[in-house]
Amino acid sequence: MPPRSYHEAVWEGLEEGLQPSDWQARLRFLLDHVRAGQRVLDLGCGEGRFAAELQRAGAEVLAVDVAQEPLRRAAGAHPELELALIACEDEWDLPDAAFDVVWAGEVIEHVADTAGWLSEVRRVLRPGGTLLLSTPAHPLLRRLALALVPGAWERDLDPRGEHLRFYTRRSLGALLADFRFEGVEVRGLGPPLVRRVLLAAAVRARF
């Protein structure tokens, strides 16, 4: 199945209007890092809830996704948003250094070509711009449970599942540093051993 068809099928299988996971905590994190007047790319915008809140806070937002179905839903729920379809695997049809902030909420774990994706993020961010992202966490207790609890590995790492990558605080921080992001900060929601979500902020190096 072509990548675009796969993503369309995933979205068509999701109930419309679902609240994003950890909505309030992720929104606070996002709004704490974005200033009014900044140009923001909401990468993998889904139904547009984060983009709408950013715009309400005074940011200039372009909300993009790799499938038409979430964009259709976003347009219906938030007709004020600027929306665009981007390529699943090729270079995005977006200009270089065009954004002050890139926000990717629960996206990076779905990406097959992580290196290509981060290279595109760097390309569209202005030098000194900020990457903000969230992704499911895999802290120590969760990793131990995968190893020790019968059936946990199969349930959590189902080869038919949508998640292709699995991150710890250390692995996510190292990945961003490898792609020449500076001032990398990664923190988790909840206590260290049982955190559910990682929140990362990093600055695109100027060179």
Tell me: pLDDT of 104 over 90: yes
CA dihedral for 119, 124, 127, 133, sign (positive or negative): negative
- Specify the pLDDT at position 119: 96
Looking at per-residue confidence, does 99 or 163 come out higher? 99
If one compares 54 and 167, the residue with the highest pLDDT of the two is: 54
Show the domains of the chain with their CATH numbers: 3-10+21-204 (3.40.50.150)
The mean of the pLDDT values for the chain is 90
For 144-191, what is each residue's pLDDT tens digit? Answer: 666 667 776 677 667 666 777 889 889 999 999 999 999 999 998 877
- Are the C-beta atoms of residues 135 and 167 closer than 8 Å to each other? yes
The rounded percent of the chain whose pLDDT value lies above 90 is 69
Indicate the pTM of the whole model: 0.90
pLDDT, residue 48, reads 98
* Torsions phi, psi for 138 (to 5 deg): -130, 75
What is the widest separation between alpha-carbon atoms in the chain? Answer: 51
pLDDT of residue 6: 81
Residue 64: which residues within 8 A CB-CB, separation 6 or more?
41, 42, 43, 44, 45, 83, 84, 85, 86, 92, 94
Phi, psi at 128, each rounded to 5°: 85, 0
Q: What's the mean pLDDT in 90-94? A: 94
Q: In angstroms, rounded to a whole number, what is the distance separating the alpha carbons of residues 71 and 64?
A: 8
